[in-house]
Chains A and B, each alone.
Chain A
Amino acid sequence: MSKLFIDIGSTYFKVAQDGKIDQYFRDFNKNILDDLNSKCSDIISGYKKEDINICSSANGGLSTLIIGLTNSFSLTYAINIAFNSGINIIDTVLYPKIESEPVPSEEIDVVIVVGGIDSVEKIFDEKLLNYLEKVNYQNIVYVGSAKNRGFLEENLENVVVLENIISDKLKIQEDALKGYLTDLYQADIVGKEDIKQLYEITSNQIFSTPYIVNRSLPKINERLDVADPFIVVDIGGATTDIHYSRDLVNDNIISESGYDRLVFKKLGVYKSRDSLVHTAKNNEFVFELLEHLNVTENILEEQSEKATRTLMQLAIFLVLYKVSKHHGQYVELNLDILNSIVLTGGITKVLTQEEVDDIVLFFYKKILQFHHAPTTLLDSNYEIWTYGIQ
């Protein structure tokens, strides 16, 4: 018996069966289940609940704040696990500077506290409690030194204590936290009526779409003309996700998957359009890029199809720029050895292969001084997620 895969996105949903994928624009006047049933009840009724798998990015996902002792280990490891679990990171706080750190204004789904190997004690004190008092959060999890568990358990109601994510040999231990965050996503969905109703048609766990995409990456080059190391770029309306092969980075993390995820929170072409335009205007190369595209700066203020296309091209450039060696951030990818770039999401419906190739080559020529650029592939059928959900 074949399976039915459904991906609920913020603007449309996709239904895949026997390798065939159909896409439907969401009707926001209906709840998700009604909308789904009105468009493909014939398909859905042909499957048992256990043969239907669903992933979703429609409920916005979980948000997290990470408080860690060091950048090298605590924060790096926790960020890595959170991203790979499909979580959106609102902010990170370096504990030694916690007294001067701003407090996020939005509600946080889960706060992650981490620091030290198990033999280290007296890491956290009143400063942590004072800071947390000002944070509006739903859950808190501690994944740091075992010798500090007592302090957190005594002082923080409902704190969940899990295995330290840093081993005694300073290696990452991701299983416990990853499992917790994935389960929490499930609980988060359950709390959201719209998604919860989907359990009427499936008996399987609903996962976040980024988590599923990440799981699909080891299978991509068995099915598509892509050579490792590659990146998958998903430029969305509000955020941009990059999934990258681990040999593009030089860090000391050994995780289960050979691919990691990185999210740019304010790099999207619809909801984060203003932020994207602001970032573009502050990039010294963008005006040359606009000239290359034969448009003027005014296009950034326009609301037209042409403007959207240009913004998407800019987004590709800015994403590559932000992960390049010219922009030291959380992750720096070695783009010199990149063989392929896969673009997925709504951008593949708007830009042509030539337009994408043009921008990527512009980036490689202008920023890396290369004459050659990696091959690009548009996931126009948006099928990558189906490899991970199976």
Chain B
Amino acid sequence: MSSLLQREREIIVKNEYIDRFDFDEVEDFIKGASKDLFISHKFKTSSEMLVQPRGGFPTYDKVFQLYKEFKDANVDVLPLTIDSNTRLNDYASAKKMLALSEENDVDMLNGYPLVNHGYRTTRKMITHYNTPVSLRHGTPDARLLVETALASGIFEIEGGPITYLLPYSKNFPMDKAFLYWKYVERVCAKYSELNEPINRESFGPLSATLQAPAIVIVIQILEMLLSLEEGVKSFSVSFSQTGSMLQDIVSSNVIKKLSRKYADQFGHNDATINLVYHQWMGAFPYNKEYSDSLINTSTVIAAMVGADKIITKTRNEAFGIPTKEANALAVANVKYTLGMLKGVPQVSDEEEEENLTNEVDEILEAVFNDKADTLWRKVFNSIKKGYIDIPFSPHIINANEVITIRDPESNIRILKKGNLPISDKSFAFEQSKIKLAEGERVVDKIIKDIGIML
């Protein structure tokens, strides 16, 4: 008799919008797939930082053209951004909007409805370009989407039960998100045994609004552990540009050090951990020259933090979804800048590193001390208790008690710690850096800090 997981998979793929799903054929395909499709292989064999843009259109043809532009710009990793209806498992609306997009040559979706296109069709495009593709979605229940992606030849899956829920959803039940992602991890682990490992990547930017590095790193490590405990062997932790070069460098040093430490501590010494850096994820300036400058600066920081992969933005960011030409230009420019940044000196700030390390350790200790018998439930309970609290998360389970603002050097600091289980010493360090101008209201400062790049 097949395993319980396999029996659940059989139910998941029996869906109104799926043609017959042939697990045996998919397994054969992954076994024999070109190693060039695996980003885990590319990480292993490349000495340079990989460059990945963002992008996705509703129709097959437009994505095909987008990939062509990207390949011409010498991209390392192709993105496949999924539309919002699919993210919410609303395949019926996605189907209608896809039909309208195809008939009228107008984009009625903000991404590629992968489930509706199906794996047989999509695989043709993925294997044609023979380049790693990263699945970007934001789906709490990504089981069917990920089955379809893997069957298509997409061997990097972004997201996780925390990072694809709390920043994106208002009321999707969190315990379900944990269980649905456990399924995803298990399927990724299973396929990892057939060829090169499937790479899982967490989404560090969170709500992309004044995220305290300690919270980001805690969540990255927890999602990594949840993934590795199911058998995943290649994982990318990530964070986005904070707006302070120093804080980015400190964050990268701490996330690299602690993700390895905790992976080893939990017995996952054989797992590969990569670092991904997102260019500025907050509000972009309307002045395109300023955007160019911001993008260039973040490319320099990515080189300084020693990222394994950078995810790019475009100068059109403030105006909507970029054209394929603008997107390809951004990739070419980032590649050009990176070419100049060889042998960047290592810098850091010991005091800042020590404090950030302490904060992360303190929060994780509280999470691990929760009385639940499984890691996912410890994390779930910790979120309910506000030990993990993401500023500006729309989700009703998020405590929303933590308030963050910038210090005079633009570092993001914790002004109100809510229930974050950090020590008085760590909190005092945060407080010591904050300087509010006389009479300045916190809310005004927050608004100013959010719009720091405008």
Contact = CB atoms under 8 A, between A and B. Distances in A.
B326 interface: no
A372 B8 contact: no
Contacts of B11: 225-227, 339-340, 375
Nearest to B15: A372
A253 B364 CA distance: 27
Contacts, number: 59
Interface string A207-240: 0000000000010011001111100000000000
A169 B14 CA distance: 40
A336 interface: yes
B383 to A, nearest CB: 10
Contacts of A247: 140-141, 172-173, 176
B171 A252 contact: yes
A176 interface: no
Given A227-B8, A227-B11, A254 B16 contact: no
Contacts of B15: 372
Contacts of B92: 336
Interface size class of A (residues with CB under 8 A): 20 to 34
Contacts of B170: 252
B173 A370 contact: no
Contacts of A225: 4, 7-8, 11
Given A252-B396, A254-B397, A336-B90, A227 B173 contact: no
B187 to A, nearest CB: 13
B180 A228 contact: yes
Interface in A294-335: none
Given A246-B173, A247-B172, A372 B14 contact: yes
B176 A372 contact: no
Nearest to B180: A228
Nearest to B140: A247
A216 to B, nearest CB: 15
A172 to B, nearest CB: 9
A258 B384 CA distance: 14
Interface in B158-193: 170-176, 179-180
B12 interface: yes
B89 interface: yes
A250 B171 contact: yes
A296 to B, nearest CB: 32
Contacts of A228: 176, 179-180
Interface in B1-28: 4, 7-8, 11-12, 14-16
B297 to A, nearest CB: 38
A19 B63 CA distance: 54
A258 B90 contact: no
A222 B4 contact: yes
A97 interface: no
A122 interface: no
A282 B4 CA distance: 42
A246 B12 contact: no
A20 interface: no
A251 interface: yes
Nearest to B177: A247
Interface in A322-362: 336-337, 339-340
Interface string A360-390: 0000000000111001000000000000000
Which A-B residue pairs are the 7 nearest by beta carbons? Answer: A227-B11, A246-B173, A372-B16, A258-B175, A227-B8, A225-B7, A247-B176
Given A226-B11, A246-B173, A258-B176, 9 more contacts: A218-B175, A225-B8, A227-B12, A229-B176, A246-B176, A247-B176, A340-B11, A372-B14, A375-B11
Interface of A: 169, 171, 218, 221-222, 225-229, 245-247, 250-254, 258, 336-337, 339-340, 370-372, 375
Interface of B: 4, 7-8, 11-12, 14-16, 89-92, 140-141, 170-176, 179-180, 384, 396-397, 400
27 contacts: A169-B400, A221-B4, A222-B4, A225-B7, A226-B11, A228-B179, A229-B176, A245-B176, A247-B172, A247-B173, A247-B176, A250-B171, A252-B171, A252-B396, A253-B171, A254-B171, A254-B173, A254-B174, A254-B384, A254-B397, A258-B173, A258-B175, A336-B90, A336-B91, A336-B92, A339-B11, A372-B14
